[in-house]
Amino acid sequence: MDRSEIRLEISQYCRQLILSQNAVRLCDLEATPRQEEFLHKVFREELEHRERQRRIRLFQRAAFPVRKTLEGYEFSSLRLPSTLSLDELTSCQFVQEKKNLVLYGPVGTGKTHLAIALGTKACEMGIVTRFFTAASLVTRLSESKRAGSLERIMKELEKAQLVVIDEWGYLPMDREEAQLLFQVVAASYERRSLVITTNLEFSKWGGIFTDDQMAAAMIDRLAHHGQLVVFEGESYRLKHALMRQK
């Protein structure tokens, strides 16, 4: 890399580090080639350090219960819609396009693993991600509403580009809890991606959320810019359970 290229990158680094272009001017007036190379290295490594720290913060804020990745994941049990390729799924392109995913299938078929792995991938790409179980999200929203801080929690969620909600529909909820969850879905519509894992077919959502019309409104918003990924096969946990082996 010649001096003009090094100086151009120093200029770009200054903008990324929110510095003036004075360093570039001093390089032009006073610096030796070795000094310019050293300054270039310092700025580059500072940006790399900031990016590593940012990703650490993203993982911490995402609050995944465990660390899962796409490496070695068995995709053979997935049935993808014709409008979603495996590459679009694993590259998190759907997040960039603010599309939703509903991961549907029996218990133990890998829905939560894939949801967390996609969230992990998103964090690695610098995408702000949050993870909740449906029960923990409803509890947090309900407590915030009683404390008068619901608006603050909703604003926190608005900062996320991807929200993963696990175990959707596993536990019944009252009307107020369902309304709070609907607020999250409605506020996310065309603004961010939702990834939802569920073993409950759409026709049964009304029974869980206490209101067929509200369930239909949720499904409408999720499906408009969404994809249904169907999981098939035997439960991985049951297949590999120690009790079964004995």
pLDDT for residue 189 is more than 90: yes
Beta bridge partners of 100: 226
Tell me how far CA of residue 9 lies from CA of 5, 13, 15, 47, 152, in angstroms: 6, 6, 10, 12, 40
pLDDT at residue number 234:
64
How far is it, in rounded angstroms, from Cα 135 to Cα 180?
12
Residue by residue, what is the 3-state secondary structure of 140-166? HHHHHHHHCCHHHHHHHHHCCCEEEEE
Helices within the chain (DSSP H only): 3-16, 22-29, 33-62, 86-90, 93-96, 111-124, 134-147, 150-158, 175-188, 205-208, 212-224, 236-239, 242-245
**Per-residue pLDDT averaged across 184-194, rounded?**
95
Q: Which residues pair with 98 in a beta bridge?
A: none
Q: Per CATH, is 78-245 categorized as 3.40.50.300?
A: yes
Dihedral in degrees, nearest 10, Cα atoms 62, 64, 70, 76: -120
| pTM, entire model | 0.85
Q: Which residue ranges make up each domain of the chain?
A: 3-56, 78-245
- What confidence category does residue 73 fall into, taking pLDDT thresholds of 50, 70 and 90? very high
Question: Burial of 183 by CB count in 10 Å (0-12 exposed, 13-18 middle, 19+ buried)?
Answer: middle
Cβ atoms 103, 195 nearer than 8 A: yes
**Using one digit for the tens of pLDDT, what is the confidence trace for 152-181?**
999 999 999 999 999 998 888 888 999 999
pLDDT tens-digit series, residues 1-20: 788 888 899 899 889 999 99
pLDDT 10s digits, 11-65: 998 899 999 999 888 888 888 889 989 999 999 999 999 999 999 999 999 999 9
Share of the chain above pLDDT 70, in %: 94
The predicted structure's pLDDT at residue 69: 95
Among 13-17, 121-125, 126-130, 189-193, whose mean pLDDT is lowest?
Answer: 13-17
Residue 101: what pLDDT?
Answer: 97
Using CA atoms, how far apart are residues 35 and 31, in angstroms rounded to an integer?
6
Cβ pair 175, 210 in contact under 8 A: yes
Q: What pLDDT was estimated at residue 125?
A: 94
| pLDDT at 80 (0 to 100) | 94
Report, as an integer, the average pLDDT of 108-117: 94
CB neighbours of residue 107 within 10 Å: 14
Instruction: Say if CB 21 and CB 11 are below 8 A apart.
Output: yes
